[in-house]
Amino acid sequence: MNAEDKIKKLGIDLTHPAPPVANYVPAVSTGNLVYLSGKGPTQSDGTMMSGKVGSDLDINQGYEAARLVGIQLLAALREHLGNLDRVSQVVKVLGMVNSSPDFEDHPKVINGCSDLLVSVFGENGKHARSAVGMGSLPGQIPVEIELIVEVI
């Protein structure tokens, strides 16, 4: 099953990629790589999820925020490429978690995005990754994630 079919099977709506909030573009291609700008967790009503993981939000809510970010990344990627079946490999994920100073489970939060990518792209969705804590993120969003993919 290809990526576009998996998106349909999972019932994921990729028709509403969030526009940039400043002076940048959502994606840039160079060679066979696509670099996606950081995205935040846009909810189904169009608002951004907010809060600090470890104080306002628990790990499960952080995981869901990261999954929402993954959906936004996929939407931006599809808009840029025209079709997710062009993705040959998810290369790198950089996950930033807006967290309380004593929070230690950043990787568990970013798994929300990583698990989504593997469910869409299978083995080709497995990637290198960093999951780091931040003192704050724009708009007090709980998670921001960047993505690099290889395309054919």
Domain residues of the chain, as ranges? Answer: 3-151
Query: What is the DSSP secondary structure assignment for residue 18, as one 8-state letter?
Result: P
- Superfamily holding 3-151: RutC-like (3.30.1330.40)
pTM, two decimals, is 0.96
- For the residues 110-133, what does the mean pLDDT come to? 98
Task: Tell me the pLDDT tens digit for each residue of 12-58.
Answer: 999 889 889 899 999 999 999 999 999 999 998 889 999 999 999 99
- From first CA to last CA, the distance across the chain in angstroms is 17
CA 94 – CA 129 distance, rounded (Å): 6
- The pLDDT value recorded for residue 1 is 76
Residue-by-residue DSSP string for 22-45: SSS-SEEEETTEEEEEEE--B-TT
CA 138 – CA 146 distance, rounded (Å): 14
Query: What is the DSSP secondary structure assignment for residue 47, as one 8-state letter?
Result: P
